[in-house]
Amino acid sequence: MKSYLAAAIQMTSKPDLDRNLTEAEELIDLAVRQGAELVCLPENFSFLGLEEEKIQQAEAIARKSEKFLKTIAQRFQITILGGGFPVPSKDDKVYNTALLIDRNGKELARYQKVHLFDVNLPDGNTYQESSTVMAGHHLPPVYHSETLGTLGVSVCYDVRFPELYRHLSKEGADVLFVPAAFTAYTGKDHWQILIQARAIENTCYAIAPAQTGNHYGTRNTYGHALIVDPWGSILADAGDKPGVAIAEIDPQHLTRVRSQMPSLQHRVF
């Protein structure tokens, strides 16, 4: 593992696949021009619209999203995480799927989100992800890279379930991906502290690309794409507008923090 720059992309995706992919490419280009070698896109990067529209367009979204990730990775010679897009399942639902692609366009890891967001919020918004999404059946993967470290994948609502990240930690993760479309209501109170907690308790870097602003109707997301270091320090914050959060992933700093705070070695259970 070497030191390198990572980027957490922040978008305002809409119910328009081609528009979203164009915006994503522009932000990836911005990140690469600043030196990023690892680029992470948020949940729903290629489509964020009504659930019925998502289901109707799922095949096209899945096909174009995967092709986009592989093409972009090769064009810019980066490793890229597509933080969540619908892939049709066998029963008229989809899997919320995150895909990690290397600079040659090769698939490194695929994760189907296991924790689905079925919540009634006090602001009047109701989310029922399970109405259209099939929960994944497997713990998320890690990918061991000689140059980027060991990378662990998760998606959005997963961040509230620390046992998932302990699994990634046990598998050797150095970097945790938390691509999200966090609601504006919960984000203001929980987003930053949850990302910091997952980084601190597992002494890992956390890269958390995000959605921001209004997507359609009353669907609003919080923004603040983050990169957090193993001590819990915020290295980069994209604010509340579309953009890029960029920071260095430093293996020497990772080793130093794990030496100073060896909590992973002190686990009892």
Catalytic residues: 43, 113, 156
CB 17 within 8 A of CB 47: yes
| CA 245 to centroid of chain Cα atoms | 13
CB 10 within 8 A of CB 208: no
162-170 helix and 192-202 helix, angle to the nearest 10 degrees: 30
Q: What 3-state DSSP class applies to 202?
A: helix
Contacting residues for 46 by C-beta, under 8 A, at least 6 apart: 13, 17, 20, 21, 24, 61, 64, 65, 68, 82, 85
Angle at 66 between CA 145 and CA 35, to 5 degrees: 50
Interatomic CA distance for residues 232 and 195, integer angstroms = 8
Diameter over CA atoms, the chain: 52
CB 4 within 8 A of CB 38: yes
**DSSP 8-state code for residue 78:** -
Alpha helices, H only, the chain: 17-33, 51-56, 58-76, 162-170, 184-186, 192-202, 251-260
**What are 118's two structure tokens?**
């079925």
